[in-house]
Structure 1
Amino acid sequence: MRPAPYLWKKGRRPLPEQTPLRVATFNIHHGRGPDDRLDLGRVADVIRAGGAVVAGLQEVDRHWSPRSAFADQAAWLAADLGMNVVFCANLDLDPPAPGIPRRQYGTAVLSRFPIRDSGNTFLPGSPVGERRGLLRATIVVHGVPVQVCTTHLQDDDPAGRLRQARAVRALVTGRPGPVILTGDFNALPDAPEIRVLTRSLRDAWPGPGPGPTFPAAGSRIDYVFTSPDIEVMSAAVVPCDASDHLPVFVDLLLPEAGG
């Protein structure tokens, strides 16, 4: 993992029955950095250099518009990184002309492990915002089935975002086995939306330090949460110029199969 200005590390070795897993969450801003240059290769380089074997991505375009050159960004990243991928569209529009793929925008999960199944659940709507969803993928890590979820909550409606956070909590805590929840939650750590989630899940960034992930506002709004049976070993916010957000990488220890 590259050096980062915000880093937390527990510093003990895994037990024999625990399985290490490096996970990332990254709002890729459809491949445009703070310089407004479209370069999806920079996103791939960040994920590759960070060593993530599972990544939850937000603001992913699929044949969406000229802003991303109408690319299938999830498929491109998966091919470049040699990973499996599942993409789900929260916005799904008719193509600009017959015979052209539909215009889609949403979230994705990349995994070096096989993705056994997946699904997307739309979250309660906000009267002022776009449709949001929770993407879930089941991956099997050395015999351990893990539910990996990612989401992107409403940015400009705190009440709507709270409803969405409550829905996310109900969806992820109702599933068996280890759960990893990633995403851009558009809320600070002390916000009601985050407190709703941490009633059942653990924030993988325990500090010290604020660990801001949205440099323009100096705010931490991107998170990795885990179910209580997963141990967090380290967490880092990694500087990059690939997006207007910074990615979070965490090292986790999964429980043994059947544990």
Structure 2
Amino acid sequence: MVRKLAVLVAALTLLTGVTPAVADGNAPPVPLRVATYNIHAGAGHDNVFDLDRTETTLRALDADVIGLQEVDVHWSERSQWRDLVSELAQRLGMRAGFAPIYDFDPLRAGEPRRQYGLAVLSKAPILEVQNHNLTRLSTQDPGAGPTPMPGFLEAVVQAKGARLHFYVTHLDYRADPSLRRTEVDETLKILADDPAGANQVLVGDLNAEPQAAELARLWPAMTDAWTAAPITTGNPLTYPAATPVKRIDYITVSDGVGVLRAEVPASPALLAASDHRPVVADLALARGSEVHP
């Protein structure tokens, strides 16, 4: 970890011309590797459920904080009625938080509730988890119109000397961009509620490419880690996993969060676990950055 921190500080010095000095005196920034991964409910691009493949991929990312999309918790036969959040957290030795989009009664009395949504896995302590609303069209009630629904996860993570507001999202998948535009506007309002100077990282499947008009309002507030990183590894395209043609999975950061490296892993061993590719970024977080009202 000492060597990793020295590399991160040296990289920031090279990029900016000065040694980073942050809110906590002259302490160096906190190194943090983050990732995002749409796990396709534990099924690979072959549509075969195999949580061992998901675990192998997540372990290989070696990330400190991971945002997951399309996560089942006792949802259905497709994931063998298992709690994927708890299982993955236990296997990886990480803490977990969950933000369901859907939360239904069990099919039989006495069984666990059926849930589907977003998750965060973290090596660092998770101080708080909130499940914010975004406007959605339900896939479970096709007759319902756009309505506020849960499923926008915020986790406050204490990463050593830095506090991080880590957001996980999954925007609407339909061809019409209007709902995604609304969701972006709602996202920005939620981000604006954080304390001044907060370290913010927003990750997820945005279901739109970087130049899409519906994402335009996001970029002044959050920086795309792939475009900001001085070092990138792999092809930035993320979907579909086997032969990607779109970049729809992102790690984005607020002002003050340094981006040192970004990667879209392309190892054949890691591409079978989902229909998306994961994205990883090495960041540097300011210590003691938040100013509370």
Q: TM-score, normalised by structure 2?
A: 0.80
1:70 corresponds to:
81
Which of 254, 257, 278 is 1:227 aligned to?
Answer: 254
Which of 39, 48, 60 is 1:49 aligned to?
Answer: 60
2:30 corresponds to:
19
Which of 118, 130, 134 is 2:152 aligned to?
Answer: 134
Identity %: 39
Give 1:192 shift: 2.1
**Is structure 2 residue 46 aligned with structure 1 residue 35?**
yes
Task: Give distance in 2, aligned partners of 1:42 and 1:23.
Answer: 19
Equivalent residue of 1:52, what SS? coil
Which of 217, 237, 241 is 1:212 aligned to?
Answer: 237
Task: Give distance in 2, aligned partners of 1:151 and 1:247.
Answer: 14
Give 1:256 shift: 2.1
1:255 corresponds to:
286
Which of 173, 178, 181 is 1:159 aligned to?
Answer: 178
Give 1:233 shift: 0.3
Please tell me the residue identity of whatever aligns with 2:238: T
Q: Is the 8 A contact 1:82 1:112 kept in 2?
A: yes
Q: Is the 8 A contact 1:147 1:179 kept in 2?
A: yes
Give 1:257 shift: 2.2
Count of aligned pairs: 251
1:192 corresponds to:
213
Task: Give distance in 1, aligned partners of 2:107 and 2:238.
Answer: 35
- State the superposition RMSD in angstroms: 2.3
**Is structure 2 residue 112 aligned with structure 1 residue 112?**
no
Task: Give distance in 2, aligned partners of 1:258 and 1:45.
Answer: 34
Q: Is the 8 A contact 1:132 1:154 kept in 2?
A: no
Partner deviation per Cα, 1:147-192 (whole Å, 9 max, x = no partner) = 0010101000310111011111111132121001010000010012
Task: Give distance in 2, aligned partners of 1:114 and 1:183.
Answer: 21
Equivalent residue of 2:217, what SS? helix
**How has the CA–CA distance of structure 1 residues 125 and 50 changed in structure 2, closer, same or farther, with 3 Å as cutoff?**
closer
Q: Is the 8 A contact 1:132 1:151 kept in 2?
A: no
Please tell me the residue identity of whatever aligns with 1:232: V
Give 1:237 shift: 0.5
Equivalent residue of 2:214, what SS? helix
1:145 corresponds to:
163
Q: Is the 8 A contact 1:235 1:250 kept in 2?
A: yes
Task: Give distance in 2, aligned partners of 1:47 and 1:106.
Answer: 18
Which of 269, 274, 280 is 1:243 aligned to?
Answer: 274
Task: Give distance in 1, aligned partners of 2:149 and 2:39.
Answer: 18
1:4 corresponds to:
none
Task: Give distance in 2, aligned partners of 1:226 and 1:51.
Answer: 19
Equivalent residue of 1:23, what SS? strand
**What stretches of structure 2 of length at least 5 have no aligned partner?**
1-7, 14-19, 21-26, 138-144
**CA radius of gyration, larger in:** 2
Counterparts of residues 163-182 of structure 1 (less than 5 Å): 163-176=182-195, 177-182=198-203
Q: TM-score, normalised by structure 1?
A: 0.90
Give 1:210 shift: 6.1
**Is structure 2 residue 110 aligned with structure 1 residue 99?**
yes
Give 1:143 shift: 2.4
Please tell me the residue identity of whatever aligns with 1:153: L
Q: Is the 8 A contact 2:222 2:254 kept in 1?
A: yes
Please tell me the residue identity of whatever aligns with 2:206: F
Q: Which runs of 4+ in 1 moved over 3 A?
A: 13-16, 126-132, 207-210
Give 1:249 shift: 0.4
Q: Is the 8 A contact 2:134 2:148 kept in 1?
A: no
